[in-house]
Structure 1
């Protein structure tokens, strides 16, 4: 059962309150703005929080410079504020600090209301931004660990892939003309999408340590899912002789049973070469139908080979640090 108050909600409420109190203690004007900035600074990941905070600080400096220039030349009125926006927004886009456009413009309105660009008010707005964004970053230094959930995702994904391959092996043995795996394929696709989002969120919760492993793992499994979908299409078109299908079915079962995170697929790829060799020395097809089905069976094996190659490539492309994670 989900708690009524989530962690992000709690951090937002506490952070906004603390930011306002600090701004008031420092005697800053418009102290509530520090709390609003904190609310906008609480993000889902540490890295996002820092990036947005830096963008907003840069945007604030730019906004105060533009506003100070425009207000000095035009005065403190609605036309001046509109002219400020016409100049500031394109510059913010140009310097890639668009996340700070709204917050910076709110701070600029304080200058408009006070009819002043004195050092006191410039400092006031900068401190409001520093306090609000700083509290947001500080609270975002704590993020709950989600590696455990990602590990569960991995086990679920592998189990579904294992089930699909076992069903394919069974369909080959029974000379099935159709394999209905729509639900499990859909469930697997949904699992992969959610797990990929979690993997990216986990990646962005690390600032110094590089945590790409789970992202790369999910990308590898997603590619394997596309291969499995293609392999499934053969079951709507072919029937084959028992000797060949039994050989391929047995190997497909071996792949299914060996499908897990730490299997590099090296041994399976070597064994697959023997399967191809056995197929080569068998007698040639005697009918057109047999020829077509043998060709599709060969392509099924080639796709299975590609499935394994994807896993081997994944392992070989890992950095030394990620390989330690992979092999631990």
Structure 2
């Protein structure tokens, strides 16, 4: 059985929180360890959010509990009233993750039959120790940027190959299923890569970097468009002469596609090819007309495919 980094961090941070609570002679010291266990998340930013939300949650819980206990007494009915008020208010302010932890700390007031300042301070120190040890534990995160850059390279290679395969397989119905499968495989890879990119971004507290996440989001949109293109191609019944320029367009894109490409050369080629198709003789029958309409639709989809990348390039240049 392989131990994950988060497990190791939790196993180290929780005992430290417990020892510190004991050194400070805090009541219910074990609560600090439990809070640490519940506060170590997968990324630095999410742990920081959790820590902040739990401090706010405890403050809200203490105010509501104080009102309930002072009016109704330190009893089960008062605790029930506290929960009836605290839970929906926490959900409304989007700090629901602190409900269970704060409520456990509130039971210390109930069991002690007291809201003494020293006891309130005790609960805050338990919370601060718990979330503080979790934050410190998550200061170390392995740098995954190299892996993400490798994901980008793999994505570029797979996308070029898919475009080349589409070019080679135009009008070959026997290869349609393999193209759809290739497209799905690439879509799944990009989805996983985007998830890793999001974790990378979440681990940069002081210098946010959403470039990689946005890059994979752009490629996912392109893959969705390619899937639509494949769907249209599966219904196209054109002659070789009708698709030869489309084949060249796919091939040219496969050769020139790159992360730093602004897409303008491909867009010009799409427009030139589109204009040549418009100048061709009008269709003579229904089937030819339907094929011509599908070809024009393909050009529009392919333009959308390139515009997605061009838009991404413009946004990157603007930043």
Fold match by TM threshold 0.5 = yes
Report what 1:69 is aligned to: 67
1:209-244 Cα deviation digits (max 9, x unpaired):
221111211221111111111111223222323333
Q: Please provide the CA RMSD for this pair.
A: 1.8
From 16, 20, 27, the counterpart of 1:29: 27
Q: Is 1:115 aligned with 2:113?
A: yes
**1:134-213 counterparts in 2 under 5 A?**
134-172=132-170, 175-177=171-173, 179-180=176-177, 181-213=179-211
Report what 2:304 is aligned to: 306
CA 35–189 in structure 1, closer or farther in 2 if over 3 Å, else same: same
From 263, 273, 286, the counterpart of 1:288: 286
Give the superposition deviation at 1:82.
Answer: 1.4
SS in 1 for 2:316: coil
Distance in 1 between the 2:92 and 2:302 partners? 48
From 130, 136, 158, the counterpart of 1:132: 130
Q: Is 1:227 aligned with 2:225?
A: yes
- Per mean C-alpha deviation after superposition, the further-off stretch among 139-148 and 175-184 is 175-184
Give the superposition deviation at 1:320.
Answer: 4.3
- Per mean C-alpha deviation after superposition, the further-off stretch among 10-19 and 188-197 is 188-197
Report what 1:253 is aligned to: 251
SS in 1 for 2:156: helix
CA 319–73 in structure 1, closer or farther in 2 if over 3 Å, else same: farther
Report what 1:325 is aligned to: none
Distance in 2 between the 1:72 and 1:195 partners? 53
1:34-82 Cα deviation digits (max 9, x unpaired):
0111111101111111111111101111212222232223222222221
Give the superposition deviation at 1:15.
Answer: 0.6
Q: Which blocks of at least 5 consecutive residues in structure 2 are unaligned? A: none
SS in 2 for 1:268: helix
Q: Which blocks of at least 5 consecutive residues in structure 1 are unaligned? A: 322-328
**1:42-61 counterparts in 2 under 5 A?**
42-61=40-59
CA 232–94 in structure 1, closer or farther in 2 if over 3 Å, else same: closer
**1:230-241 counterparts in 2 under 5 A?**
230-241=228-239
From 4, 7, 10, the counterpart of 1:6: 4
TM-score by length of 2: 0.93
- Per mean C-alpha deviation after superposition, the further-off stretch among 279-288 and 71-80 is 279-288
Distance in 1 between the 2:128 and 2:46 partners? 17
CA 115–92 in structure 1, closer or farther in 2 if over 3 Å, else same: same
Q: Work out whether residues 16 and 34 of structure 1, in 8 Å CA contact, stay in contact via their aligned partners in 2.
A: yes
Q: Work out whether residues 63 and 105 of structure 1, in 8 Å CA contact, stay in contact via their aligned partners in 2.
A: yes
Distance in 2 between the 1:33 and 1:301 partners? 63
Report what 2:213 is aligned to: 215
Q: Work out whether residues 180 and 227 of structure 2, in 8 Å CA contact, stay in contact via their aligned partners in 1.
A: no
TM-score by length of 1: 0.90
1:87-131 Cα deviation digits (max 9, x unpaired):
222232233321111101101111112222111111100100011
Give the superposition deviation at 1:306.
Answer: 1.3
Give the superposition deviation at 1:84.
Answer: 1.7
Distance in 1 between the 2:23 and 2:318 partners? 50
SS in 2 for 1:43: coil
